[in-house]
Amino acid sequence: MRSKKEIPAESKSYAVLFFILSALLGLVTIWGFWSEMITRRPWKEIQQQFYQYEYEKTKAELENAENNLPDEPSKPDLDTNELRRLEKDIEEKKVALDEAMQDRKFEQSKSDAINYKYQHSLHEAHGEYTDTVNKWKEKLDEFEQRIEGELTSAVLMAEAEYADVNISLADFYQNSNDPTNALSTYLIAQKYKPTETSIKDGIAASQASLAVLESQKEQFELVSRLEEKVKDVGGIKRTFLGSLLENPFRETRTIVQYYLEEFDYTADRCATCHFSVDKSGYETSGDDLFEEVEGDGEALVKLQLKHPKVKLGSETVVIDGFDAEPEEYELTETGLLTLTDPLVFGDIEISYDTAYDPVLQTHPHRDVLLSKHPIERFGCTPCHGGQGHGLTAKAAHALTHAEYWLTPVLGLDKDTGRTSEDKKGYMESNCRRCHDGVMKLDYGVDADTNVPVDYAPNLTKGMHLFENLGCHGCHAVEGYSALNNIEKVGPSLEKVGSKVQDITWLESWIKTPEAYLPDTTMPNFFPAEGMSQVVYFKNGGQRTGIVTETQTGYEIKADDGTVYPYGREDVIRIVDEVKSIAAYLSQMTDDTLDESSEQYSQSENAIRAGEETVKTVGCLTCHAVDGLGTDFAPALDSVGTKVTPQYLKQWIEDPKAYDPDTAMPSLRLGEREVDNVVAYLMSLQKPTTTVTSASIGEVDPNEGEKLVRTYGCFGCHEIPGFENESKVGADLGEFGAKLAEELDFGDTVDIDHSWHGWTIGKITKPRQYQTRRIVSRMPVFQISDDEAKSIAVLLKSFQPQPYPLNYIFDHAVEPERVEKQKQIDAGRRIVEKYNCTGCHVIEGEGGDYTDVIIAHEGLDQITAKQLSPPPLQSQGARVYPEWLFEFLKNPSEIRYGLKVRMPSFGMSDDEATALVKYFSALDDEPFPYETLTPPMSTRSELLVGKQIFDVLQCDSCHPSKGEIISQGSDKAGRPDLSLANGRLKPDWLMDWLKDPQALQPGTAMPQAWPLVDGKHLPYGNYAGSDAEKQIRFVRDYILSLSP
């Protein structure tokens, strides 16, 4: 037998090898295809889903359009014989008109020639009327007489006849359903008979018919377009097979990519999967209205919603103005609404949530956010985070730092990859990186509430909490420019020893602030039960905690409950922290206060009078007592146990004398009023829980000073000697970029090991991460979980890498917009500092003092509003800035008969100017305002204005200065019109007289000149029944008044 080597090559069989290789090639090809088209390109399936949605949406639109189609417009029905007759008449009359005009032109030419000869002969005769001159003049007169008489009459008659036959033809066209030719023919006739009423009527009728035809034409064209779109969307593009057969270079099957050059040429491909992010029609909710639906009594009415994906159970259906019961309709997931009553009648409204895949939903607030941040320039990752070049959800979202090095997508849960309710607020954190220093990212106002629409509410809330809780007092934040405008949140402690009655109260307050004020923002530095001690050891170390003496030494219980035993010989000294701090602060006294009398009235009459003053002049705008008021400032229910009467007297008389930087205003109370208020407040001695107890530690004021420095009390309070101290907390400027691995979780086991978990835990329970070697001194705030999440959103925005300058709001937009935003922000900070919204409605919010009036006075809502401080809507357009500046500096009485008073805040010139600019910016009024005095009415016009003013009885509601306002009078709270000149802008006053409700909804001011069909109706026959003149005369009369 021959060996294989001896067998000729051409005789060997390679079938098995070829089969194996072919099979491998086929498998590799299938695998490569699968990997390339499916595994590595999941975005294709998403885009296929998008086209499926498009197909279903287009079908739904087409069905609705077909259901609303009118009957096919009928073609013009023309009587050809009559049309020929009319056209022949027009031709004949046109010839007659042309001949008449030609005859007149010929005669005019002859007249021009004779006129030349007349003028020439007159010139030759040197102006004398010789026989020759008179001869030519007679001939000229003959021609002109014939032209102006006989020939012109012939032309006018021919024009009239030509217009009449055109009218007849136009009427024929209109009656034959041909409004296009009818309109053009009517317009020809109007040229020759411009005042003819029948022509005007005909033009209006033909225009109305054309409008109907045009509307019907648009409806038919819409159906045609939708039919073409269905064929296009319904083709191969939305199928898997279609994705294989389709041209790979078509945009419908390609990667959507934006290059962000200023972000290091980052490739942003997010829109490849989020294919409809910048397309309308894929919103998370829908609202449909079907007008004048009427059933036929037999078949059920079926309506197709515009969204073919509906989340069942989310809908609200209204039939003819009434909420529908579940049995009155049926709704399918594809958006088919069936009304079960065959006799249904009326408008059908439905609101519902859509069920589109989240990846294919339209960007929230697309019309605002994406119009201001075009996706072509901003992409997605600068706002949302993630890896823009990734083409799979795992790679693009980068939810695990272990696998991907870029920032993960904000707001997603790392386990599910879906939006998390706990974390979705983080989507707003990057807003601050471009809009640093802006208090609120609002744009436009809510039409129903007139409140600015905030597009980053979690970030706004986080900034508000961060600043008002005083976090900046301990922590520096590099890059957070808002800190430059923030003052210390706590009161000055410069004279606290003379302010409080005794050191016991101070000790209790330092130990547990919430025991005295349950809603206080003052944090608790000593949350453990018992008196905290500082223990000094012989080895130079120290430890803080609750110290208990044992037989052999001491046990120190830390905040986390861990007990550390020490021998007696190891301890040098034990100091009581709370009592030592109180002892140190109690040394800060004021000689003037200490030397003044402590006497105050304790009579019931004085106390009752003081109570009435406190509850009516405006104290409860900021404070609360007996359940009335607000929590802007401390509640007063136990103030009598806290402060000395001499402090109260000085504080109420002149708060700035005690603390020049306080926001507490003066209410300009008389001496007796002050004494009564002191008597009332000193009587408020609601018992509070005793929180201090005996301790083994010594009390040392010097140690108290060290502890004040250790705990950073100076971060919130002005304390003499601590003006130049550094902040005691860590710089948070890059905290948002920290990884979980960089955070110390201590010995905790129940905290999610993530940035979010650590941060929420630190905010809500700051001491839980401390260990034997790591001590935490961060105090405990009374913060809810929602508030903690909002603060975490702000902390997430503290990133080390600044965004390109051309993306920063201050540099990227027009200087005018930047300046306006800065003016609004500065004003909002002052409004917040002085709690202006406690009394006034500003930007649609505030005015809570009305509730105090209702509760205390027992009044109805309307009367209480009349007696409340006025809303400050359109204030910039209403008053002159010079007047507003002076009023803020030195308030004066404008409305009489009110118990509540406009306080004197003692604002600086800069603060008052900032408020004036704020109100001007809100109303787009220029600042400084250029005062242009409008033309004043004449004396006789002012008399007409006074007559209308008197007939309208304006002075029945508006008082004059010095007038006694009785209780319950309609004049209480109304402005004195004699003060309008120099205060109110004339243009605003005109608008106010025209339509008060438009400027201030709910006002009691009546509308004397109602608006009907776009015009104001006149009041009587004054000023020739001209409403505009009447309003102007009344305005000018008001501005002519003097106090």
The tokens of 455 are what?
A: 């597009």
3-state secondary structure 216-229: HHHHHHHHHHHHHH
How is the chain split into domains, by residue range?
A: 80-176, 285-355, 496-530+582-714, 813-922, 939-1040
Structural class in CATH, domain 939-1040: mainly alpha
Give the DSSP letter of residue 469.
Answer: T
Helix (H) or strand (E) holding 10: none
Of 47, 48, 53, whose CA–CA distance to 355 is shortest? 53
3-state secondary structure 431-451: HHHHCCCCCCCEEEECCCCCC
What topology does CATH give the domain 813-922?
Answer: Cytochrome Bc1 Complex; Chain D, domain 2 (1.10.760)
Neighbouring residues of 149: CB distance < 8 A, sequence distance ≥ 6: none
C-beta of residue 469 within 8 angstroms of C-beta of residue 513: no
Rounded Cα distance, 664 and 654, in Å: 9
3-class DSSP assignment, residue 310:
strand
Rg (CA), the chain: 43
Neighbours of 27 (CB within 10 A): 10
Of 210, 211, 168, whose CA–CA distance to 189 is shortest? 168
> What is 156-199 written as a DSSP string?
HHHHHHHHHHHHHHHHHHHHTT-HHHHHHHHHHHHHH-TT-HHH
The tokens of 182 are what?
A: 């009818």
Angle at CA 518, nearest 5°, toward 513 and 519? 100
Q: Could you tell me how many residues make up the chain?
A: 1043
Rounded Cα distance, 1026 and 1028, in Å: 6
Helix (H) or strand (E) holding 330: strand 329-331
Rounded Cα distance, 875 and 886, in Å: 15
C-beta of residue 729 within 8 angstroms of C-beta of residue 712: yes
Angle at CA 200, nearest 5°, toward 194 and 203? 120
The tokens of 28 are what?
A: 């590799």
Crossing angle (nearest 10°) for helices 80-124 and 131-146: 170
pLDDT score, position 239: 52
Rounded Cα distance, 73 and 227, in Å: 20
- The residue whose two tokens read 């530095």 is 525
At 865, give phi and psi (nearest 5°): -65, -35
Q: In this structure, is the dihedral angle defined by the CA atoms of residues 912, 918, 920 and 926, taken in order, positive or negative? A: positive
Q: Please, what's the b/e burial string for 534-554 (b: 16 or more CB within 10 A of its CB; e: otherwise)?
A: bbeeeeeeebbbbbeeeeeeb
The tokens of 527 are what?
A: 């949350």
Neighbouring residues of 616: CB distance < 8 A, sequence distance ≥ 6: 856, 899, 900
C-beta of residue 875 within 8 angstroms of C-beta of residue 884: yes
Rounded Cα distance, 532 and 559, in Å: 9
Neighbouring residues of 117: CB distance < 8 A, sequence distance ≥ 6: 136
At 565, give phi and psi (nearest 5°): -85, 145
Rounded Cα distance, 135 and 19, in Å: 126
The tokens of 940 are what?
A: 């006789």
Rounded Cα distance, 898 and 864, in Å: 11
**Within 35-79, where are the H helices?**
42-67
Rounded Cα distance, 108 and 146, in Å: 10
Give the DSSP letter of residue 685.
Answer: -
pLDDT score, position 881: 94
Neighbours of 740 (CB within 10 A): 15
Neighbouring residues of 325: CB distance < 8 A, sequence distance ≥ 6: none
Helix (H) or strand (E) holding 16: helix 15-34
Beta-bridge partners for 329: 339
Rounded Cα distance, 196 and 203, in Å: 11
Q: Are 496-530+582-714 and 813-922 equal in CATH topology?
A: yes
* pTM of the full structure: 0.84
Angle at CA 539, nearest 5°, toward 533 and 540? 60
Neighbours of 704 (CB within 10 A): 24
Rounded Cα distance, 939 and 378, in Å: 62
Of 849, 856, 894, 853, whose CA–CA distance to 875 is shortest? 894
The tokens of 393 are what?
A: 């959800």
User: Average pLDDT per run of 10 along the chain, which is 1043 residues long?
Assistant: 59 78 88 70 84 86 82 77 86 87 86 84 82 83 83 86 88 86 88 87 88 85 83 58 48 77 85 92 93 89 91 94 93 93 93 94 93 92 90 85 71 82 89 91 86 94 95 91 84 94 94 93 92 91 90 87 88 94 95 86 95 96 94 94 94 93 94 95 91 90 95 95 92 92 89 92 92 86 94 94 89 88 94 95 94 93 92 94 95 92 94 96 86 78 94 92 82 92 93 92 90 91 93 94 85
Helix (H) or strand (E) holding 1012: strand 1011-1012
C-beta of residue 903 within 8 angstroms of C-beta of residue 618: yes
Neighbouring residues of 804: CB distance < 8 A, sequence distance ≥ 6: 262, 263
Exposure on the CB side of residue 1027, measured as CA atoms within 13 A: 17
pLDDT score, position 728: 93
Which pairs from 807-810 meet CB under 8 Å and 24+ separation?
A: 807/262, 807/378, 807/382, 807/434, 808/434, 808/436, 809/434, 809/435, 809/436, 809/438
Rounded Cα distance, 493 and 497, in Å: 8
pLDDT score, position 743: 92
Give the DSSP letter of residue 719.
Answer: -
3-class DSSP assignment, residue 948:
helix
pLDDT score, position 405: 60
- In single-letter form, the type of residue at position 553 comes to G
At 310, give phi and psi (nearest 5°): -125, 135
Tell me if the domain spanning 496-530+582-714 has CATH number 1.10.3720.10.
no
pLDDT score, position 330: 94
3-class DSSP assignment, residue 624:
strand
Neighbouring residues of 565: CB distance < 8 A, sequence distance ≥ 6: 550, 552, 553, 554, 555, 556
First vs last C-alpha separation in the chain: 137
- The residue whose two tokens read 């037998």 is 1
